[in-house]
Structure 1
C-alpha cells in the first residue's frame, strides 16, 4: 500500500514537471519564433519626474527601461505626485498651470529642482525621506503609497496654486507599485508582474513624429508633442505605424503593447501657457482617431480618441536617442 502511494506521488510530481517544462519550452519557442523588423529610430526620451509637470528630455545619456517605467539613476518617471488634503491625486486636469513647472536635476543627480515663474526654485532630494509621513492614495482605483515631501514643498505649492492644501508625495523603491493587472478597466491588458508608479495607465507611452505631423495638417493651429506627454518618441516611420507594433525592442529593452492610448482633456492644456483650450485637439482627433465599434477596446475607450501606444516591459534594458526600433507588426 505504501509502495503504491509513493509510486503515485512520484508519478504526480513527474507529470507536473513534464507539463511545466513543456509549457516553458513551447513559450520560449513561440517567443523565439517572433520576427522583429526595423520600424524606426528613437528621436526623444522623456521622463516626467512629477505627475503633470513638464518632463526632462534625455538626448545624450542612456536611460533604463525598468520594471516600473523609465529610470535615470535614482530618478523615475512619475516618482512624485501632488495630492490634496484628502490625499486624492491632482493633475493638470484640475490645475492646468502644473504643466508650466519645470523639473531639472542637480549636477550630482541627487536633487530634483522645480522651477516656476516668479518663485524661488524648490530643491528636493530625489530619494524619498522615509522619516516623513507615509500617505496612502490611489489612481483610478489602484492603490499606491508615497512619502510626504515636507512643509517647504507644501508652502511652495501654495504660492503657485489658488487651492491651498496640496502636498507633494515621493515614491520609494521599497514600496509597492500600482498593480496594473488589477486595473478595473484595463486589467486584461497587463500581466500580474506589471507595476507602475504615479502614471495613469501603463509603464510607457510611445508616439511617432509622423503621427503628430499628420494631426497638425488637420488642425488650424499646430500643437507640439508635449501635449501628449510620451516617454519615447520615434521617427523614420509612417503616421500611426506604432498602432500595429505588438512588441518592440530598443537597445537592450523589450516591451509589449498593452493598448492604444485613449486621450482625455489633459491634451487640451497648452504646455507653453498653462491654459486649457475648449476643444482642440480632441475635437479633431475624434473625427479620425476613434476605434471602430468592433474593436475589442471600443467599450473601454468610450468617446476617447486614440493617439499613441501604451507599452509594458518584457525585458529590462537601456535605451538612448538614435537607437533603432524593432517591432513585431500585426
Structure 2
C-alpha cells in the first residue's frame, strides 16, 4: 500500500521513508555490535591518523580514509612504499644514508606523481610509466625485487637535491613479484608480502606510547619520526603490542611482531638532520626485548607493532578499533 493512500503529502512520505531507512540502518548497526560482542570483540581505541609513504623514506601523506590492500595502505594512485630511490647498481637508498630524503613531499594529481623539495622546482612524472622504461633489478634489505625506472629527469632531480652520487627512482608495479615478509623476518606468515617496505604491510603505534616516551625525554619527539601507518588514540601506552587480532571497519589484521628501531628514527622529519642518538638511547633504557627474543630483535629497542592483513577493506580516521579475544 503506498503512503499516498494514507493521505500523506509526497514530502511527508519521503521524510518517513528516510526515517525508516535510518532506523533500519541503526538496527543493523546495533545487531552488528551485538554480534561482535558475542564474538569476543572489545573496543580498545579509535583511529586517530592514517599515513602513506609512497616514496620510501620521504615525507608522509596524511589521509582521512584509505584502502587496506594486502601490501599496505592505498589512496587512489598512491600506494605505500611503491617508489624507491636506488643507486645505479640497484641497491636501495633510504634516509639512513641520505637523511634529506625525508624533506621530499609527494602528491598525486591527474595520474602524475608530484615531487617537491626545498629550493627545488616541482617535478611531475606519470604514475603509469611507459613500457619502454627499463625494469631494474633492485636490492632491498638483502632481497631482490624489480622496479621500473622512472626516467632521467627525476634521476637528475634527486641527485641534485641530495648532492650525491647518481641516484635513480623506480616504481613497483602490481604484476611484479613482491618481497615475502617471512624471508625478511621469520615471525611473518607465508601470505604477508610487501614491495619496498622495511618489514611488514602495516605499522601501528598508539598516541599514548609516544606520550610515554616523551615523558622520559628532555626534548620531545614527533610521532612522525616513527613513520606509522595507523595511529590509535584512547588506549594505554604500548597496548598495541598486546592485540593479537584487530578489526577496524571491515579490515581484519593480525599482530605479527614488534618493530625493532634503527637510526632512521633519529632523523628530524622537519629538518632532515640525523642525530644518531635520540630517541634510540632513551628507548634502549626501557624498551629492549626479552632475552629469549634477542636472535630476532638483536640490540634494537621495540616501538610500535607490525600487523599482517587477514581481510582487506577500507578504514577511516575516527573508526573504532576492536581487539578480538
TM-score bracket for this pair, using the shorter chain length:
0.7 to 0.9
Q: 1:120 to 1:67 in 2, by over 3 A?
A: same
1:120 Cα shift?
A: 0.5
TM-score relative to the length of structure 1: 0.85
Which 10-residue stretch deviates more, 117-126 or 219-228?
117-126
Q: Residue 47 in 1 paired to residue 48 in 2?
A: no
Rounded Cα–Cα distance in structure 2 between residues aligned with 1:128 and 1:191: 32
1:34 Cα shift?
A: 6.2
1:249 Cα shift?
A: 0.6
Q: Residue 79 in 1 paired to residue 82 in 2?
A: yes
Q: Residue 97 in 1 paired to residue 100 in 2?
A: yes
Residues 75-118 of structure 1, C-alpha deviations (whole Å, 9 max, x = no match): 21001000001110000000001001111222x3x111111011
SS in 2 for 1:215: helix
> Which residue of 267, 270, 285 maps to 2:268?
270
Rounded Cα–Cα distance in structure 2 between residues aligned with 1:84 and 1:143: 14
Rounded Cα–Cα distance in structure 2 between residues aligned with 1:175 and 1:33: 42
Rounded Cα–Cα distance in structure 1 between residues aligned with 2:267 and 2:57: 11
> Which residue of 204, 229, 232 maps to 2:230?
232
1:210 Cα shift?
A: 0.5
Partner of 1:192: 190
Partner of 1:132: 133
Residues 132-163 of structure 1, C-alpha deviations (whole Å, 9 max, x = no match): 11011121222211000001111101211121
Rounded Cα–Cα distance in structure 1 between residues aligned with 2:276 and 2:249: 40
Counterparts of 1:101-250 in structure 2 under 5 Å?
A: 101-106=104-109, 108=110, 110-183=111-184, 186-187=185-186, 189-250=187-248
Rounded Cα–Cα distance in structure 2 between residues aligned with 1:278 and 1:199: 21
Residues 257-316 of structure 1, C-alpha deviations (whole Å, 9 max, x = no match): 11000000000100111000131100000001111213xx32211110000000110001
Please, which runs of 5 or more residues in structure 2 have no aligned partner?
A: 1-36
SS in 1 for 2:282: helix
1:328 Cα shift?
A: 3.0
Q: 1:302 to 1:34 in 2, by over 3 A?
A: farther
Please, which runs of 5 or more residues in structure 1 have no aligned partner?
A: 1-31
> Which residue of 63, 68, 72 maps to 1:69?
72
SS in 2 for 1:153: helix
Rounded Cα–Cα distance in structure 2 between residues aligned with 1:33 and 1:199: 36
TM-score relative to the length of structure 2: 0.86
SS in 2 for 1:152: helix
Which 10-residue stretch deviates more, 137-146 or 209-218?
137-146
For the Cα contact (< 8 Å) 1:142–1:179, is it kept in 2? no
Residues 183-202 of structure 1, C-alpha deviations (whole Å, 9 max, x = no match): 2xx13x22222211110000
> How much is the aligned-residue C-alpha RMSD, in angstroms?
1.5
Rounded Cα–Cα distance in structure 1 between residues aligned with 2:214 and 2:183: 36
1:124 Cα shift?
A: 1.7
Counterparts of 1:5-24 in structure 2 under 5 Å?
A: none
Length, aligned pairs only: 289
For the Cα contact (< 8 Å) 1:269–1:276, is it kept in 2? yes
1:33 Cα shift?
A: 8.9
SS in 2 for 1:275: coil
